[in-house]
Amino acid sequence: MKQFTDLYWRLDGTTSTNEKVAALRDYFAAAPHDDAAVALGVLSGGRHGRAVSLTLLRQWAADAAGLPAWLLEESYAHVGDLAETIALVLPPPAEEAGDSESSLAACMQSTVQALRQAADDDAKRAIVEAVWRRLAARERIVWHKLLTGGCRVGVSKTLVARALAEVAGLEPAVMAHRLMGRPIETAAQFATLLCPDETEADSQRPYPFFLASPLDADAPSLGDVAEWQAEWKWDGMRAQLVRRGDEAALWSRGEELMNEAFPEIVTAAAAFPAGTVLDGELLAVRDRRLLPFASLSRRASRRRVTKQVLAEIPCVFVAYDLLEAEGEDLRSEPLAHRRALLERMVPHPFDKAIDTGASVSGPPADGHDSGQRFFLSPCITADSWDTLAAARATSRQRGVEGLMLKRKASPYAVGRTRGDWWKWKIEPLEIDAVLLYAQAGHGRRAGLHTDYTLGVWQGDRLVPVAKAYSGLSDAEIVEVDRIVRATTLEKHGPVRVVQPTLVFQLSFEGVSRSTRHKSGVAVRFPRIARWRRDKEPQDAGHLADIERMIEMASSAGATA
């Protein structure tokens, strides 16, 4: 535990990339493999559920410190980090030695795992209080973060891969590839990760994804349009289909195996030869129409998919790149060459399989499903940037997010390498909305209200339609915070109900009807574009305006 605690504070104390890589390298070179496997899972951002509820942890800490609950909450609001707040208010440890001298793996097993298996809250409290008596504040903070699943230390997977590559004597790209896919959970798996030779575990791993950057400049600044490949930017889930040996694996961009959520895709992949890796997009399609992204999310969140769900939300894989063919890694080849091979492997263009139009919802019209699961993402033929701009202008009617621009000579890189892949998205939808609720932020903005719930008019009342984190400047945040405190009507825990006085321009990517929200609508990727100081609350938008956006998209799709 001491080694990992030292690593945490070493990483927390620097913004230098080289210093962070050095800290990671030193830790992984010295730590026992079972500790290193646990640390890797934490540092890589893996999902680690809470071992105990935050409500109970707050209550026990307040009792141990002899503080009223409200004072602990006020302290948290000012500190901005719950793990640090609890560590600071607790009395000093009563024992000299303890978990700080034990291994990270042993600490996780004896405390975090034990808490998850504890019979009741009293048993959990006994475990927590016993650890508090042994750890100093420095170790308590790190342990609290492990306990609550919030141990983030500002290192990316790329930096972790670089450090491990130095330890193993491998190329960073090879290590990044090995870190994709199934998690490293045991000492044996960590030892395999450092093996200099290709291992059996490498067989079904995906490649690191190449990510596009937003195009902020004018498209003509990219040069000759003939040097670029243009495609629609589909509103789906990025995925890689890996077919090696007799098995197929479907991986999300977040490195999650999705075979159980999309069994029809995995089954259809048997048609491809061994040694095939496709990069593409998962989309939900029914009756030749694109379904909303929310429908696709329903599929992705399921461990088991029923026949009813398969019928209601049929899915397809739209391929736009070929990363491996007949076992040969093609990523260093130019995109134009990879595309030519892909067109022979996946000959069915997706635009021929759907009716151009906006997303639809509701029950199946006739239950029609062609059974075809793999399609080719079509290229958009254009002799000028003006032609592509005109195509981009039709994106919303087609149910897509804009265009993807890819340099034909580009290799398939790792991560967000700028210059070769750009996403040229359409302008967002916008509406003026009123601030209804505010909540304080954490970390650097602790004590300032930066989380806003915004509403629009429905008749003579305001209804909430979105929660947005601040897109304001630091000076504006401070000013809004003062207004929030001065106009608070009620307080519900950390949430303040405020007098409706502030109007903000709310931007979002899309909108659909929703039975989960009181307003009956759900907006996608909401964010604050600017503070509308020139408007009063009565000048804000109406729910009917948002509903009209849904109707316009549907009618445009029907006539496209």
Q: What is the DSSP string of 526-537?
A: -EEEEE-TT--G
d(CA 540, CA 537) in angstroms, rounded, equals: 5
Alpha helices in 50-149 (DSSP H): 54-65, 69-79, 82-89, 104-107, 114-117, 121-132, 137-148
Neighbour-count burial of 282, counting CB atoms closer than 10 A to its CB (0-12 exposed, 13-18 middle, 19+ buried) = buried
Spatial CA neighbour of 285 closest among 396, 348, 375: 375
CB atoms within 10 A of CB 179: 21
Residue 24: phi, psi to the nearest 5?
-65, -45
Q: How crowded is residue 99: how many other Cβ atoms within 10 Å of its Cβ?
A: 21
Match 């899309």 to its residue by tokens.
Answer: 510
Contacts of 504 (CB under 8 A, 6+ apart): 432, 433, 434, 435, 452, 454, 468, 528, 529, 530, 531, 532
Catalytic residue among 233, 307, 352, 406: 233
Which SS3 state, helix, strand or coil, does residue 231 take?
strand
CB within 8 Å of 2: residues ≥ 6 apart: 100, 101, 139
Comparing CA positions, the residue from 364, 342, 369, 339 lying closest to residue 354 is 369
Say which residue the tokens 């003509």 belong to: 220
406 is catalytic: no
CA distance 207 to 279: 9
Q: List the catalytic residues.
A: 233
